[in-house]
Amino acid sequence: MEKNRCGMEVETYGIMKRIVAITGYRSDYTKLKSVLEEINNHPNLELKIVAFGAHTLDDCGDTFKQIELDGFKIEEILDTSVQGVGTAAMTKSMGMALIELPSVLQRLNPDASLIVGDRYEIMSAALASSVNNIPVIHIQGGEISGTIDEVLRHSITKLSHLHFPSTKKSAQRIIRMGEDPDLVFNVGCPAIDYIFKQEYLSASQMNKAVKDYGHLKIDFEKDYAVVIQHAVTTEYKNSYLQMKTTLEALQSVGIKSIVIYPNPDAGASSIVRAIRNHGSNYKEKSIICEKAKNLPFNVYLNILKNCKLLVGNSSSGLREAHVFNIPVINIGTRQDGRERTSNIVDVPHDKQKIIEAVKNFDTGNSYIHSENIYGNGTAATQMVDIINSVDFNTLIGKKFYDQ
Domain definitions of the chain by residue range = 2-189+376-395, 196-362
- Fold classification of 196-362 is Rossmann fold (3.40.50)
Predicted pLDDT of residue 251: 98
Name the CA radius of gyration of the chain, rounded. 21
Reduced to 3 states (helix: H, G, I; strand: E, B; else coil), residue 386 is helix
DSSP for 73-99, written as a single string? PPSEE---PPP-SSHHHHHHHHHHHHH
Average pLDDT of the residues of the chain: 91
The helix/strand/coil state of 231 is coil
Using CA atoms, how far apart are residues 366 and 343, in angstroms rounded to an integer?
9
Q: For residue 15, is pLDDT > 80?
A: no
Q: What is the CATH number of domain 2-189+376-395?
A: 3.40.50.2000
| pLDDT above 70 (res 91) | yes
Answer whether 345's CB lies under 8 Å from 365's CB: no
pTM of the model: 0.88
Q: One fold for both 2-189+376-395 and 196-362? A: yes
Better-scored residue on pLDDT, 226 or 60:
226
149-163 burial, b at 16+ Cβ within 10 Å, e below that, comes to bbebbbebbbbbbbb
Which tens digits make up the pLDDT trace of 351-367? 999 999 999 886 554 45
What pLDDT digit, counting tens, does each position of 108-133 carry? 999 999 999 898 999 999 999 999 99
